Amino acid sequence: DDQSIHEIDVKDTGENSCGDRSDDEDQNDKWNFYDQHESTRAQSTQKVNTRESCCSDSSEDDEQNDKWIVYEHIVATSVSIGEQVNESDEVILNETHSIKKESSLDTETFEDEILRDVGLDNIKKEVLQMLKTDGPRNTIHYMNDNASMWKHATVKIAVAGKSSVGKSAFINAIRNVKSTDDGSAEEGLGDTTLVVQEYKHPKNKEIIYCDLPGYGTVIMTRETFLEKVNLLEYDLFFIFIDPVPTEDDQWLIEQLRKADKEFCFVKAKLDQDMKNLKRMGMTAENALAKIKKPIVDATKTMPTIHGDVNIFLISNTNFSIGEMVKLVSFIKAKVPKLKFEAIAFCLSSFAKEVIEMKYETLQKRISPLALSLSLSDDSMLNVVRAENELGLYYDVFGLDIALNQQPPNLRHPFSPDCIGTLLNSLCDEPLGVLTKMVPIYSTVVAYRSFKKFFKQLLDELKDDCLTVHKYAISKRQKELSLPKC
C-alpha cells in the first residue's frame, strides 16, 4: 500500500545518501515490493472469500480461524516492510472482524453518506445510479471527466469601443500580461486593425479576450463591422467608453439586444481621474459618484436601454481601485458556472472578494474528488490525482511562485518539497493495511478522511493567499509613500 511504499521511500533515501544505491535500483525495489505486497494481499483475501462462500453459518471456531487468516495477512505484510506485530494488533483484529460481520449494512451507509453530502448536489443522482449499474471504475471516470471539464470550456469575451479608451491595456491586465511580453496587446496605437484580434490567456488557451475593430468610422462602417464580427460567437461584451457612450455605442447595443447578448459599459483609466479629483480634496466615494454620473445620465437618453445598463469604473494599472470586483461578479452572473470556473482559476488574486470566489469554486471540487479517490483501489494513481489537485490549489491562489521576499507566517510556503510533504501527510491519513480488508467500510472512512484533508488544506492555503494579498498591499503602499528622486 501507499504508506508501506512511502516508508520504503524513506529507507531508500537514507541508502542513497550514502551513495550505495542508484535511483534505478531503488525504483525497481519499490516495484518488486509493490508486486509482492499485492500478491500477498490477493492470496489472503482469496482465503477469506473462500471460507465465507463455504460456511454461511460460521461457528465460533470458524470465526476465530477467519481472524487468524487476517492476522496471517498482517504478519506477512509487516514482515515485508520490516515491522513487528505486537499485542495491540489483537485488539485491532477483533475490531476488524466485527466490522467485517456487519459489512452487509455498509452499502446502505455509503449511499446515505453520498446523499447527505451537499458537495455532491449537482451529480449525486448520476453517481448513485452509475455505482449501481456501471460499477466504481466507470463512476470514477465519470467524476474525473466532470472535474476536468472546465479545462475545455471555451470562453470568448469581446472588448469593444473606439480607440484610446483602454481596451488593449485591459486585455493585458486581465491576463496578467505585461505590454513587453510575447502575446501582449499593443497599447496606445489606436485602431490599427480591421479584423478581430484574439488574445488567449497564457494559463488557459480556451479563455480568449477579443479586441474588436472600431465601428462607425469611414473605413469600418457599421455594415462592414457586422460583416466582419459574428456577434453570436461571444459570451459577453465589454463596451469601453471615455468619457461617455457615443451614438455608435448605442447602435452596437441595439445589435446586441437583437442577438440576445449580455453587455456592460466599462470606463478605464480610473486611477488618473481619481488622482485629479483627489487634488481637489474629494473623497474616493464622492469621486466615483462624480465620474459615473455623466455616464448614467447619457444612458438614460438612449432609447434602447433607458439607463438600464451595468457600468463599471476600473483601473487597468491597479485592479484594487474602483469596481473591478463588481465586474468579476457581473461575469459570474452572466456566464455558465463551468465557464466562470475557468475564468476564476485564471484571475489574479487582486482582492479579498476574488480570493473568496476562488475558494468557493475550489471547495465544490472536494467531495467529488474525495469520492473518486475513495472508490479507487489504485493507490499510485490516487497519489497522482491528489498531487494534481494540490498543484491546482497553489496555482489558482497564485502561491506557486517563489517570492523574492516571503511574507511571514505562511502555513504552506511554496517550495520544491511542499507538495511532497503534503502528499506524505495525506498518505498517512486514510490509507492503510487494515482498511483494505473491508472494502465498503474503508470507502466510507477514506471518503470522510479525504474530504477532511482537502478541506483543511484549502482553508489554510486560502489564509496564505490572504496573507500574501495583505503583504502585497502593504508593500505597494510603502513604495508609493517613498519620495520620488
CA dihedral 270, 358, 174, 146 (to 10 degrees): -150
| 379-397 and 366-375 helices, crossing angle to 10° | 170
pLDDT mean over 331-339: 96
Residue 228 pLDDT exceeds 70? yes
Distances (CA, A) of 139 to 56, 190, 295, 301: 31, 53, 53, 56
pLDDT mean over 78-85: 37
pLDDT score recorded for residue 121: 83
The pLDDT mean for the chain works out to: 78
pLDDT, tens only, 164-195:
899 999 999 999 999 899 999 988 666 556 88
Least confident of 37-46, 88-97, 337-346, 355-364: 88-97
pLDDT mean over 30-48: 43
pLDDT band at 266; cut points 50, 70, 90: very high
The residue extents of the domains of the chain are 2-101, 103-150+360-480, 154-335
Cell of 96: 476488524
Residue 152 pLDDT exceeds 80? yes
CATH of domain 154-335: 3.40.50.300
pLDDT mean over 115-124: 88
pLDDT score recorded for residue 90: 39
Pick from 22-36, 104-118, 339-353, 365-379 the range whose average pLDDT is largest. 339-353
pLDDT mean over 95-101: 35
pLDDT band at 108; cut points 50, 70, 90: low
User: Greatest CA span in the chain, whole angstroms?
Assistant: 97
pLDDT score recorded for residue 79: 36
pLDDT, tens only, 351-366:
999 999 999 999 999 9
Residue 216 pLDDT exceeds 50? yes
Give the C-alpha separation, 211 to 191, whole Å: 10
Query: Where does 261-418 show beta strands of DSSP type E?
Result: 263-267, 311-313
Where helices occur in 347-438 by DSSP H, the ranges are 352-363, 366-375, 379-397, 418-427
pLDDT band at 277; cut points 50, 70, 90: confident
pLDDT score recorded for residue 167: 94
